[in-house]
Amino acid sequence: TQLLEQSPQFLSIQEGENLTVYCNSSSVFSSLQWYRQEPGEGPVLLVTVVTGGEVKKLKRLTFQFGDARKDSSLHITAAQTGDTGLYLCALEDSSYKLIFGSGTRLLVRP
Partner 1 sequence: SAVISQKPSRDICQRGTSLTIQCQVDSQVTMMFWYRQQPGQSLTLIATANQGSEATYESGFVIDKFPISRPNLTFSTLTVSNMSPEDSSIYLCSVGFGNTEAFFGQGTRLTVV
CB 52, min distance to partner 1, A: 17
Closest to partner 1 by CB, 10 or 16: 10
Sheet with strand 5-7: strands edge to edge:
5-7, 19-24, 71-76, 61-65, 55-58
Taking CB under 8 A as the criterion, the residue among 42, 59, 68, 82 binding partner 1 is 42
**If binding is defined by CB under 8 A, does position 97 make contact with partner 1?**
yes
**x-or-dash pattern for partner 1, window 45-84, by CB under 8 A?**
x--x------------------------------------
Among 41, 51, 57, 67, binds partner 1 (CB under 8 A): 41
Residue 24's contacts (CB-CB under 8 Å, 6 or more residues apart) are 4, 5, 6, 7, 70, 71
